Chain A
Amino acid sequence: MSGGLSSASFPKNAHAALANPPLLKAIAHIEETLVSGRRRAVDALPEFEALRDAGRDIKAHTLAHLDLYLEAFEKKVVEAGGFVHWAADAAEASRIVLDICQAAGARRVTKGKSMITEEVGLNAFLEANGITPVETDLGEYIIQLRGETPSHIIAPAVHVNKEQVAADFRRVHTKLDPLRNLEEPTSLLAEARGVLRERFLTADVGITGANFLVAETGSTVIVTNEGNGDLTQILPKTHIVLASIEKVVPTLEDVATIMRLLARSATGQEMSVYTTLSTGPRRAGDPDGPEAFHVVLLDNGRSAMLGTEFEDMLRCIRCGACINHCPVYRSVGGHAYGSVYPGPMGSVLTPSLQGLEKAAHLANASTLCGRCESVCPMRIPLPKMLRHWREKEFERHLTPKKARFGLAAWRFLAARPRLYGAVTRMAAWSLARLAGKDGALKQLPLASGWTRWRDLPAPEGGTFRTEWAKRGRK
């Protein structure tokens, strides 16, 4: 299964995913790795819940002063010798990055893992303009070779198995000895490391995202495990950081607080291997580091979310915990969502990025079980926001006719207790009769969505309220 799926066809995408056993096996793995890892890390830190409160408060404070912190950040970057560019939307961001690359005479750029570059579709745009982007995060690299999009914001290639990776390497790495054994993940990693090492050393520009932008110092912060982000940003002559505006935080202390939440929530590590703060270009006398440092600040709809019921979503630190714990994601994987951002956080973000018409399924395809919110380090009320999208759909008459009719009928009935009593009494009695001694129905035409997969337990017979009245009770 590849990317390029659309949110509008979510049920169809989900159907395909459910018929893809290797995919399901790969996703099932998340339980033992990311989910239990998070549990262990959280249990080992008594202050975790207090940190969640603090993290939420930091972001809430920052968002309420977002314009001012962005200005402060910009000033600091410029003081350190860097450049700040502002991009209102995806097209402008891509354009700015291209301009910088062209001015640097770049042919080949390396990229650290960045969901924002996925959001703006940067790779395709650079390629169309004669510049070769090379993804360097192992997962992203695999995805790029396969011509896919990431299926998870933290583990982009979680849906790919090692046999598929081996086949991809043999197809693309032309210098690879056909006899070389690529059965084990270790040999695959060694192969990728070798190929990418050369790319790092020869790239003209390095592009990374940022986990934080620090207003106090003008630093951009990336958090990685592989070290690819660092090689991307220190080796080429030019370093471009593409980050969305809500990544700014006030101070280093605020970075520390959220850092303590990020890795634990994402992978169950207490700290990711590399947390790197970059401030401006290399200094006089520095033996290495980029000569030019650019930060591109992307809005792309975020400023319009402020002050709305979706403002809380801007606290998101892209840890992926909500995704890992989502029963729907765990059933169908990331690509089915047809969006850069899958799972609960994606179902909240995607309608604002793609338009509610296209993404209407996403907010509905949730049981609202609330596990996402219960693990979100930034305490984002995801179910509440999914419900807000449902309300907007309903207001704008995007809810399917059949569902609207059903709701109206139910509302009509439920507002008329006596009629309701009569109808439910009749229906319960009929269903109980229909089931007879079986106690359950194997199929029921009007409830085929139910009986296709499970029996429908039959009503006992009389409704509670009739039985209650029969006993002369009030």
Chain B
Amino acid sequence: MTTPKPQVGLFVTCLVDFFRPTVGFSAVKLLEDAGCEVSVPAAQTCCGQPAYNSGDRAGARALAEQVIALFETFDHVVVPSGSCAGMIKVHYPDLFSGEPGWRLRAERLAAKTHELTSFLVDVLGVAPLPVSWEGTATYHDSCSGLRELGVKAQPRRLLSAVDGLAIKEMRDPEACCGFGGTFCVKYDEISNAIVDRKTADIKSTGVDLLLSGDLGCLLNMAGKLKREGSRVEVRHVAEVLAGMATGPAIGEKTK
């Protein structure tokens, strides 16, 4: 008797949807190779984090209801982003305090929602795919994934199996990159000072590749590195793990 395949709903996130579909396809590949049946509900948009972090609780709540209704039927919900996964996992239940019905639904969804790499390692416990990437890389721990969800060892564990890839840590991989959602445009000058320290740390490692699990941070760091004329490639960790790091890196020229 074979156990039925786990039904996974992929919450692709608005940034991946808009900027970098490759991350979404990489996530699908990783999940399918791990034996999951992956669906992408077409009506998904945004998890509501921008509204939530701007103090617009009602707005965040409305989008949360939409996400809950769309995803609550899956066995698992997987998100290739620590901050959007954190929004669902940590903050959704908070949005419905005093409404037992909705709160329960939010908690149920929270319990089965996972950031991509932690889902692969902690929930599925899969063996990494036999992929290779020649060169050295450094890994940036995105804040929400790290501090809300404890994502730290999982991506490194998966990367350690990538053939030819050597990880060289930054001095402070846990330092914020300065993205912070709308912060990066509202307080752009400060955001710049923060990402400036981050790229200095990245460059001092001398690696070829910067990886992370959150596209917001990656766009920020890639944009800064490009502006500085750096040749460090920037990619979402899923691209490398899925063996799909073949097209142009983030912000890179197309051939």
Are A and B close enough to touch in the complex, i.e. CB under 8 Å? yes
Q: What 1/0 mask marks residues of chain A from 365 to 400 whose CB sits below 8 Å from any chain B CB?
A: 111111101100000000000010111111100010
A residues at B contact (CB < 8 Å): 11, 14-15, 18, 327-328, 330-332, 364-371, 373-374, 387, 389-395, 399, 403, 407-408, 410-411, 413-415, 417, 420-421, 424, 427-428, 437-440, 447, 449-450, 452-460, 462-465, 467-469, 473-474
**Separation of A414 and B13 alpha carbons in the complex (Å):** 12
Q: Are A14 and B223 in contact (CB under 8 A)?
A: no
Asked whether B248 is an interface residue with its Cβ less than 8 Å from the other chain, the reply is yes
B residues at A contact (CB < 8 Å): 12, 14, 16-22, 24-25, 39-40, 42-46, 48, 50-57, 59, 62-63, 66, 143-144, 147-148, 174-176, 178-195, 197, 219-220, 222-224, 226-227, 247-248, 250-254
The 5 closest A-B pairs by CB, nearest first: A367-B180, A390-B55, A457-B251, A449-B185, A394-B55
Q: Looking at the assembled complex, report how far the CB atom of B41 sits from the nearest CB atom of chain A, in whole angstroms.
A: 8
**Separation of A172 and B22 alpha carbons in the complex (Å):** 65
Determine which of B17, B53, B189, B250 lies in contact with A368 in the assembled complex, contact meaning CB atoms within 8 Å.
Answer: B53
Instruction: Give the interface SS of chain B, mostly helix, strand, loop or mixed.
Output: helix
| Given A327-B194, A453-B192, A459-B20, A368-B180 contact (CB < 8 Å) | yes
Q: Are B54 and A331 in contact (CB under 8 A)?
A: no
**Separation of A331 and B43 alpha carbons in the complex (Å):** 40
Q: Looking at the assembled complex, report how far the CB atom of B111 sits from the nearest CB atom of chain A, in whole angstroms.
A: 20
Q: Looking at the assembled complex, report how far the CB atom of A456 sits from the nearest CB atom of chain B, in whole angstroms.
A: 6
Q: Looking at the assembled complex, report how far the CB atom of B252 sits from the nearest CB atom of chain A, in whole angstroms.
A: 5
Determine which of A331, A365, A370 lies in contact with B147 in the assembled complex, contact meaning CB atoms within 8 Å.
Answer: A370
Q: Are A457 and B21 in contact (CB under 8 A)?
A: no
| Given A414-B45, A460-B22, A464-B16, A369-B54 contact (CB < 8 Å) | no
CB-defined contacts of A473 to chain B, threshold 8 Å: 40
CB-defined contacts of B251 to chain A, threshold 8 Å: 439-440, 455-458
Q: Are B223 and A457 in contact (CB under 8 A)?
A: yes
Q: Are A410 and B50 in contact (CB under 8 A)?
A: yes
| Given A327-B178, A410-B51, A464-B21, A457-B250 contact (CB < 8 Å) | yes
Determine which of A364, A414, A456, A458 lies in contact with B63 in the assembled complex, contact meaning CB atoms within 8 Å.
Answer: A414
Q: Are A328 and B194 in contact (CB under 8 A)?
A: yes
Q: Beyond A18-B189, A414-B66: 5 further Cβ-contacts under 8 Å? A: A364-B183, A368-B183, A414-B46, A415-B45, A464-B16
CB-defined contacts of B66 to chain A, threshold 8 Å: 414-415
**Separation of A454 and B174 alpha carbons in the complex (Å):** 21
Q: Are A462 and B186 in contact (CB under 8 A)?
A: no
Q: Looking at the assembled complex, report how far the CB atom of B21 sits from the nearest CB atom of chain A, in whole angstroms.
A: 4
Q: Looking at the assembled complex, report how far the CB atom of B191 sits from the nearest CB atom of chain A, in whole angstroms.
A: 7
CB-defined contacts of B19 to chain A, threshold 8 Å: 428, 457-460
CB-defined contacts of B63 to chain A, threshold 8 Å: 411, 414-415
